[in-house]
Amino acid sequence: MAEILTLRGGAAFSPTRLSRLTESARIALPRLKSLAAEHWYFIELARSLAAQELDRIKDLLSAHPATDALAAGTIIERGTAFTADLRGSLDAEQRAQLLPLLHDRMTESVLDSADAAQALFHHYPPQPLRSVAVVARGRAALVEANGELGLALSEDEIDYLVDAFARAGRDPTDVELMMFAQANSEHCRHKIFNADWIIDGVARDETLFGMIRETHRRNPGGTVVAYSDNAAIIEGARARSFYAGADGIYGYREEQTHILAKVETHNHPTAISPFPGAATGSGGEIRDEGATGRGSKPKAGLCGFSVSNLKIPGFVQPWETDYGKPERIASALQIMIDGPLGAAAFNNEFGRPNLAGYFRTYEQEVQGEVRGYHKPIMIAGGIGSILAAHSHKANFAPGTLLIQFGGPGMLIGLGGGAASSMTTGTNAADLDFASVQRGNPEIQRRAQEVIDRCWQMGSPRRDGCEPGDGNPILSIHDVGAGGLSNALPELAHGAGCGARFELRAVPNEEPGMSPLEIWCNEAQERYVLAIAPQRLPEFRDLCERERCPFAVLGEATGDGRLVVADRHFANNAVDMDMEVLLGKPPRMTRNVASRGRHLPPFDVTELDLREAAHRVLRMPSVASKNFLVTIGDRSVGGLTARDQMIGPWQVPVADCAVTTMSFEGYRGEAFAMGERTPLALLDAPASGRMAIGEAITNIAAADIDDLSLVKLSANWMAPAGHRGADVDLFETVKAVALEFCPQIGVSIPVGKDSLSMRTTWKENGADKQVIAPLSLIISAFAPVQDVRRTVTPQLVVEKGLETDLLLIDLGQGKNRLGGSALAQVCNATGEHATDADPRLLKAFFAAIRRLRREGMLLAYHDRADGGLFATVCEMAFASHCGVSLNLDTVCYDPMMNDVDGMERRPEIVKGRLSDRVFAGLFSEELGAVVQIRREHRSSAMDVLREAGLSGCTHFVGSMNDADEIRVWRNAKPLLSEKRAELWRIWSETSYRIARLRDDADCVQQEFDHLLDADDPGLTLQASFDPADDVAVPFINSGIRPRIAILREQGVNGQVEMAAAFERAGFAPYDVHMTDLQNGRVKLGDFHGLAACGGF
């Protein structure tokens, strides 16, 4: 038996996190006094250690507990030892309540003593292959396996497989069945979007995906790749990319560089385990970008969440009711505490800034049903860059090597593709849990460094003087849903090849796994690629330098078959035709019926304006998103031009995110989001048009040449099969794809669907369900001409400067309140949804562009959640100034133009006047508030008149010196409140969530600081002239000092560090620690070194 060395480490948690954990444990165990936690290290030694080696181990573990290995054959496991101070011992029931709070049962084991650590190093024998007795038992055997394995096969698919294996004359293996289920799940194959439709008895000619494709067919310009790869590719421009060449010297290369765009969902995993679910959602989307074309580079991300009501303890809002939830899923509040942390942690550790997003809560009873997001929406998306020459995957021939690189296989995330395609609550709890992956962003960073080195080999050398050596990657895919069982067949099938693999060549952390578990697990941070055999030595060198594990798993064949051999058991885990797996299984037909709507009107006549304003500002979709923003590193990579935070006081109200294409020049990319999901319960097609409209009015803040350059990602969520939901989906896709997008000249080259948005459970013997509305989440992407021209909501406040605020109302005075934040906080829906006019939207975009280019726009903010009131408040918050808002033209009613008459008989007009005030303030019709100089009023109106927008443009206010938000109507004050007090109300929801998550004292100090009227914010007071080149005296010899940009695995900030040194006059070199260890580089060759940041 091997010797096990046990060492005690330091504290496992910060005081704040330990305090939170203790509070949670005390709920399960009230007599718990305190809880302590420290790390312990268990080391399986291949041989005895000398005293000096033991001391070195102790030093290493103290400095870097995540050390992988100390010597060949040495394995380290880190555990957390908990000490509970309580009266008496734990009984079995208390232990069962406490342990789930203290460990993740997917990745951690519970040991009762340090001696039990021996079990950690037990080497289990491989589990054997299983077959399903279809030959002997027929269809019944497959039906049974379908339930047991959680395959989610339809009746047609079961018949298809029974027929296929009957013709083959053999039983299918469990590996083949799981592989087929994942590859053909709704998650992977999008069966509903490719289905035939019969609506109200009438067959329709269109498919959903066919209609989406029509947007690209009608407007293909500016799109390089649509629908055929892991991400869309948008036409970019020539840019001076900065990276290290084969000689290690960083430099600029002039290259045609395109833009990647991708948006994914990870709804099911986030419902089950919010932190890992959201983390791996972001990780998977990052891999999609890196695995586009022949390899590319992720640049910046976005993230969004839709959940049911939060019900924050001590802060439950009047519109929130407690309908309950199933035990197997997390609460909305827990999702919003842990989920954003998971997404931020992955982005931070990988080294990608997260710059945009959205957050909505919704849960209401509508037409006798509870509609909401017990199954949440978790959106993960982003942009990246790719060389034009690498935009398309290359075909490859039989004999090409098929390789996995990145992390090892583990028993994590089994059956995720099928599980996510099922209604939450219909799958077994253990299968739901098993389908959630766990993330390791650091090893994904290593894999991305390998990808970067590969595509950089395919570009010209510095300054275009020398040809590149050629990118060794012919084709690449990320490993996502279905694991290798989906990724490797896709890789081979994409080149028209078959493939043969050796199962035992798969890097595997758990040798005891069965063939099914090895081939189908969804362990993260893995990619598969194809390279020519002669390029293997180069690729091996790249992987070894980056410490990135890789393995040759097999090769492409010309026979069209997929064979997975298992040398351990001397059999084949898979042996089937590719066409059976990825051909054309039975096509789905959706035979569905419409559903009528009968919704009561929203009566505002009895509402108190002040109370309504406060409720709306606390509504999560309106309120500050500070708690979602501050957890992310928004500057890593060095290319962020516009993040969420605006102005000296860093208020999170930006309309869009903007990045630069390079460290030199001002071209860039912009992206923004839009969603209006509550509207779908009133008018589903209108909700789709409004989502696109919001995304466009957001991204209009950036300097984009033309609306046709904006490309959309459409993420569709729906409770397919629920009464009326399928028709709503079909009609919304039709309205968006065949009508609205062609009318405004934009296309949808990328998207995703998640169509099992229902949660069902039993509670006290009663059946319960929460059904999500049809939810279209739009993300807009576009190339930017000049990142410096981005307009923000920060009002320009200068002494002597006279300005006006204009509302451009694309709703043309309709001011509908159906589905608005005001309706939601009053537990109402309303009858009439806001809607978008394509002609006005297109004219609006062009007019804003012209106003910006002609220097007339000082500030810009779109009107969305919370309406005009929230829009103006956010502009005031970002600017630390008061605003006076005049509603006369917004609320004008020709039937009520006798002000004196109103004063004499107010009871006659009170209701109608109240309706118009509330509608004017809180309607969420499309539009924007812009600030212009008073001297530009006439010129600005000329621009708007030429665009056909003068009739829906209103002068609505200006700034005041009282630092108050004032609302006026007919020269009478309706509302007057201190800007700082409203800012606190708007910030309170974020503050309450942050208190539950972060250090409570720090959060309280930050919240109280909002009242400090003398806070100058972030102000630049340089003690030097930035234009002075202080390096000149030191480098006037013309020889740049050599600087080593030193990095190790986990480092992610080396490129911007090198760019800074290059700008300062140094010659930066890329130096990895493996270069020093292998003697390729010596530090003595440099004048200095810079150690870069990361995790």
DSSP 736: I
The Cα diameter of the chain in Å comes to 99
Q: What is the pLDDT of residue 511?
A: 87
CB 9 within 8 A of CB 65: yes
In one-letter notation, the amino acid at residue 232 is: A
**Full-model pTM:** 0.93
Q: What is the pLDDT of residue 120?
A: 78
Strands (E), 558-710: 561-566, 571-577, 589-592, 640-642, 645-646, 651-652, 657-660, 668-674
Q: How far apart are CA 753 and CA 768, in angstroms?
A: 25
Q: Which residues contact 713 (CB under 8 A, 6 or more apart)?
A: 232, 261, 262, 263, 381, 748, 750, 751, 752, 778, 779, 780, 781
CB 527 within 8 A of CB 450: no
User: How does the average pLDDT of the chain come out, rounded?
Assistant: 91
**What mean pLDDT do residues 765-770 have?**
95
**How many C-beta atoms lie closer than 10 Å to residue 108's C-beta?**
12
Q: How far apart are CA 326 and CA 333, in angstroms?
A: 14
116-120, 569-573, 838-842: which range is least confident on average? 116-120
Question: Which tokens sit at 431?
Answer: 């299968």
Q: How far apart are CA 490 and CA 27, in angstroms?
A: 48
Asked if pLDDT for residue 461 goes beyond 60, the answer is no
Asked if pLDDT for residue 68 goes beyond 50, the answer is no
CB 1086 within 8 A of CB 1042: yes
Question: Which tokens sit at 130?
Answer: 């299983």
Q: Which residues contact 900 (CB under 8 A, 6 or more apart)?
A: none
In one-letter notation, the amino acid at residue 925 is: E
Q: Which residues contact 229 (CB under 8 A, 6 or more apart)?
A: 292, 293, 393
Q: Which residues contact 1007 (CB under 8 A, 6 or more apart)?
A: 984, 987, 988, 991
Percent of the chain with pLDDT over 70: 93
Q: Is the dihedral of CA 810, 813, 817, 822 positive or negative?
A: positive
**What Rg, from alpha-carbon coordinates, does the chain have?**
30
Q: How far is CA 685 from CA 679, 833, 834, 908, in A?
A: 9, 10, 11, 37
Question: Which tokens sit at 911?
Answer: 């209701």
Q: What is the DSSP string of 520-565?
A: HB--SSEEEEEE-GGGHHHHHHHHHHHT--EEEEEEEESSSEEEEE
Q: How far apart are CA 1022 and CA 91, in angstroms?
A: 64
Question: Which tokens sit at 227?
Answer: 């629908």
Q: How far apart are CA 457 and CA 360, in angstroms?
A: 44
Phi-psi region of 866 (alpha: psi -120 to 50; beta: other; left: phi over 0): left
Strand-strand pairing, 297-307 and 250-265: unpaired
Q: How far apart are CA 407 and CA 428, in angstroms?
A: 28
Strand-strand pairing, 498-502 and 561-566: parallel
Q: How far apart are CA 845 and CA 847, in angstroms?
A: 6
Question: Which tokens sit at 553?
Answer: 């798993």
Q: What burial class does residue 533 get, using C-beta atoms within 10 Å of its C-beta: 0-12 exposed, 13-18 middle, 19+ buried?
A: exposed
Phi-psi region of 463 (alpha: psi -120 to 50; beta: other; left: phi over 0): left
* Helix runs in 880-978, H state only: 899-904, 906-922, 937-946
Kindly list the strands in the beta sheet with 202-204, ordered across the sheet, starting from the edge strand earlier in the chain: 202-204, 196-199, 589-592
**What mean pLDDT do residues 178-199 have?**
85
701-710, 766-775, 913-922: which range is least confident on average? 913-922
The CA-CA-CA angle for residues 427, 433, 436, to 5°, reads: 110
Q: What is the pLDDT of residue 183?
A: 84
Asked if pLDDT for residue 343 goes beyond 70, the answer is yes
Phi-psi region of 500 (alpha: psi -120 to 50; beta: other; left: phi over 0): beta
Asked if pLDDT for residue 94 goes beyond 90, the answer is no
Strands (E), 593-649: 640-642, 645-646
CB 783 within 8 A of CB 234: yes
Q: Is the dihedral of CA 435, 439, 443, 444 positive or negative?
A: positive
Q: What are phi and psi of 622, to 5 degrees?
A: -100, -40
In one-letter notation, the amino acid at residue 854 is: E
Q: What is the pLDDT of residue 294?
A: 97
Question: Which tokens sit at 387?
Answer: 């060389």
Q: What is the pLDDT of residue 464?
A: 40
Asked if pLDDT for residue 959 goes beyond 60, the answer is yes
> Which of 2, 105, 11, 5 has the alpha carbon at shortest distance from 56?
5
Q: How far apart are CA 1044 and CA 1082, in angstroms?
A: 10
Q: How far is CA 970 from CA 816, 898, 903, 904, in A?
A: 22, 10, 11, 14
Q: How far is CA 643 from CA 101, 300, 449, 655, 777, in A?
A: 35, 10, 25, 9, 20
Confidence of residue 910 (pLDDT cuts 50, 70, 90): low
Q: For the chain, give the number of residues.
A: 1095
> Which of 171, 328, 186, 158 has the alpha carbon at shortest distance from 265?
186
Question: Which tokens sit at 761?
Answer: 């459970």
Q: How far apart are CA 809 and CA 286, in angstroms?
A: 38
Q: How far apart are CA 286 and CA 278, in angstroms?
A: 12
Strand partners, 770: 759
**What mean pLDDT do residues 986-1012 have?**
95
In one-letter notation, the amino acid at residue 988 is: E
Question: 150-173 pLDDT, tens per residue?
Answer: 888 888 889 999 999 999 999 999
Strand partners, 1075: none
Strands (E), 854-971: 859-862, 882-886, 927-933, 953-960, 964-969
Q: How far is CA 800 from CA 43, 202, 796, 933, 1016, in A?
A: 71, 67, 11, 11, 20
109-113, 245-249, 447-451: which range is least confident on average? 109-113
CB 836 within 8 A of CB 689: yes
Confidence of residue 55 (pLDDT cuts 50, 70, 90): confident
Q: What is the pLDDT of residue 1037?
A: 65
Kindly list the strands in the beta sheet with 747-754, ordered across the sheet, starting from the edge strand earlier in the chain: 640-642, 657-660, 668-674, 775-784, 711-717, 747-754
More confident residue, 993 or 17: 993
Q: How far apart are CA 721 and CA 735, in angstroms?
A: 20
Question: Which tokens sit at 1047?
Answer: 């990095």
**What mean pLDDT do residues 203-221 have?**
97
User: Long-range pairs for 1080-1083 at CB < 8 Å and ≥24 separation?
Assistant: 1081/248, 1081/1044, 1083/1044
> Which of 247, 259, 333, 346 has the alpha carbon at shortest distance from 296?
259
CB 779 within 8 A of CB 676: no
**What mean pLDDT do residues 551-555 have?**
98
Q: Is the dihedral of CA 876, 877, 878, 881 positive or negative?
A: positive
Confidence of residue 87 (pLDDT cuts 50, 70, 90): confident
CB 362 within 8 A of CB 770: no
Q: What is the pLDDT of residue 466?
A: 42
Question: Which tokens sit at 407?
Answer: 């992390």
